[in-house]
Amino acid sequence: MSAIGMGCMGFTHAYGTCPDEREGVRLVHKAFELGCNFFDTAEMYSYFGNEEFVGKALKELPRDQVIISDKFWPEKLPGHHFPEDKLSEAGIRKTLEGQLQRLGTDYIDLYTEHQMRDGNEEEVAHVMGKLIKEGKIRAWGQSSPKADQILKANAVTPITAIQSEYSMMARQWESDVLPLCRELGIGFVAFSPMANGFLSARYTAQSEFKGDDLRTVISRFDKENMRRNQPIIDLINRYASEKGCTPAQISLAWDLMAYEQLVPIPGMRREERVVENLGAADVELTQEEYQALTTELDKLTIYGDRTGLNKLASVPESTRDQGDVYKK
Ligand SMILES: NC(=O)c1ccc[n+]([C@@H]2O[C@H](COP(=O)([O-])OP(=O)(O)OC[C@H]3O[C@@H](n4cnc5c(N)ncnc54)[C@H](OP(=O)(O)O)[C@@H]3O)[C@@H](O)[C@H]2O)c1
pLDDT one-digit tens code per residue, 221-276: 999 999 999 999 999 999 999 999 999 999 999 999 999 999 999 999 999 999 99
Q: What is the pLDDT of residue 320?
A: 43
Measured torsion, CA atoms of residues 269, 61, 256, 185, in degrees rounded to the nearest 10: 140
Residue 267: DSSP 8-state: B
Residue 222: DSSP 8-state: S
Label residue 108 exposed, middle or buried (CB < 10 Å: 0-12, 13-18, 19+).
buried
Average pLDDT over residues 163-178: 97
Digit-coded pLDDT (tens) for 85-138:
899 999 999 999 999 999 999 999 999 999 888 889 999 999 999 999 999 999
What is the Cα–Cα distance from 306 to 156, expressed in whole angstroms? 32
Domain ranges of the chain: 6-200+247-283
| CB 182 within 8 Å of CB 259 | yes
Take atom 2 of ligand 1 and give the residue whose Cα is closest.
Answer: 323
Q: What is the pLDDT of residue 5?
A: 98
pTM for the full predicted model = 0.94
What is the Cα–Cα distance from 210 to 314, expressed in whole angstroms? 12
Take atom 32 of ligand 1 and give the residue whose Cα is closest.
Answer: 200
Digit-coded pLDDT (tens) for 9-57:
999 988 888 899 999 999 999 999 999 999 999 999 999 999 999 999 9
How far, in Å, from the CA of 135 to the mean position of ligand 1? 30
Take atom 24 of ligand 1 and give the residue whose Cα is closest.
Answer: 197
Q: Which of 45, 140, 192 to mutate to test the pocket of ligand 1 (most atoms within 8 A of CB)?
A: 192
Q: Which of 8, 11, 15, 115 to mutate to test the pocket of ligand 1 (most atoms within 8 A of CB)?
A: 15
Please state the atom number of ligand 1 nearest to the C-alpha of residue 306: 16
Digit-coded pLDDT (tens) for 284-294:
999 999 999 99
| CB 127 within 8 Å of CB 107 | no
Q: What is the pLDDT of residue 197?
A: 95
For the chain, the 3-state helix, strand and coil shares in percent, each to the nearest 5, are 50, 10, 40
What is the Cα–Cα distance from 66 to 3, expressed in whole angstroms? 13
172 or 208: which leads in pLDDT? 172
pLDDT beyond 50 at 312: no
pLDDT beyond 50 at 76: yes
Query: What is the residue-averaged pLDDT of the chain?
Result: 92
Q: What is the pLDDT of residue 88?
A: 94
How far, in Å, from the CA of 10 to the mean position of ligand 1? 7
Residues with CB under 6 A from ligand 1: 7-10, 15, 40, 114-115, 143-144, 163, 191-197, 200, 202, 248, 265-270, 273, 276-277, 322-323
How far, in Å, from the CA of 224 to the mean position of ligand 1? 22
CA distances for 303 relative to 21, 183, 190, 229, 325, angstroms: 35, 31, 20, 6, 16
Q: Which of the four pLDDT bands, split at 50, 70 and 90, describes residue 217?
A: confident
pLDDT beyond 80 at 160: yes
Digit-coded pLDDT (tens) for 82-95:
788 899 999 999 99
The residues assigned a catalytic role are 45
Q: What is the pLDDT of residue 103?
A: 98
For 116, phi then psi, to 5°, come to -50, 140
Average pLDDT over residues 304-321: 57
Take atom 28 of ligand 1 and give the residue whose Cα is closest.
Answer: 268
Q: What is the pLDDT of residue 206?
A: 87
Take atom 25 of ligand 1 and give the residue whose Cα is closest.
Answer: 197
| Amino acid identity at 248 | A
Measured torsion, CA atoms of residues 11, 15, 16, 21, in degrees rounded to the nearest 10: 0
Q: What is the pLDDT of residue 213?
A: 85
How far, in Å, from the CA of 222 to the mean position of ligand 1? 17
What is the Cα–Cα distance from 262 to 280, expressed in whole angstroms? 14
How far, in Å, from the CA of 17 to the mean position of ligand 1? 14
Q: What is the pLDDT of residue 308?
A: 76
E strands of the chain, at which residues? 6-7, 38-40, 67-72, 108-113, 137-143, 161-165, 187-191, 262-264
Average pLDDT over residues 198-221: 89
pLDDT beyond 50 at 326: no
Q: Which CATH number does the domain 6-200+247-283 belong to among 3.30.1600.10, 3.40.50.300, 3.20.20.100, 3.40.50.620?
A: 3.20.20.100
Three-class SS state of 124: helix
Q: Which of the four pLDDT bands, split at 50, 70 and 90, describes residue 314?
A: very low
Q: Which of the four pLDDT bands, split at 50, 70 and 90, describes residue 321?
A: very low
| Those residues with Cβ within 8 angstroms of residue 29's Cβ, 6 or more apart along the chain or in another chain | 57, 60, 61
- Long-range contact set of residues 274-277: C-beta below 8 Å, sequence gap at least 24: 274/6, 274/27, 274/30, 274/31, 274/34, 274/36, 275/30, 275/34, 276/246, 276/248, 276/249, 277/4, 277/194, 277/248, 277/249, 277/252
Q: What does R_g of the chain's alpha carbons equal in angstroms? A: 19
Three-class SS state of 135: coil
| CB 157 within 8 Å of CB 140 | yes
How far, in Å, from the CA of 179 to the mean position of ligand 1? 25
Take atom 13 of ligand 1 and give the residue whose Cα is closest.
Answer: 192
| Amino acid identity at 2 | S
The β-bridge partners of 263 are: 189
318 or 274: which leads in pLDDT? 274
Q: Which of the four pLDDT bands, split at 50, 70 and 90, describes residue 79?
A: confident
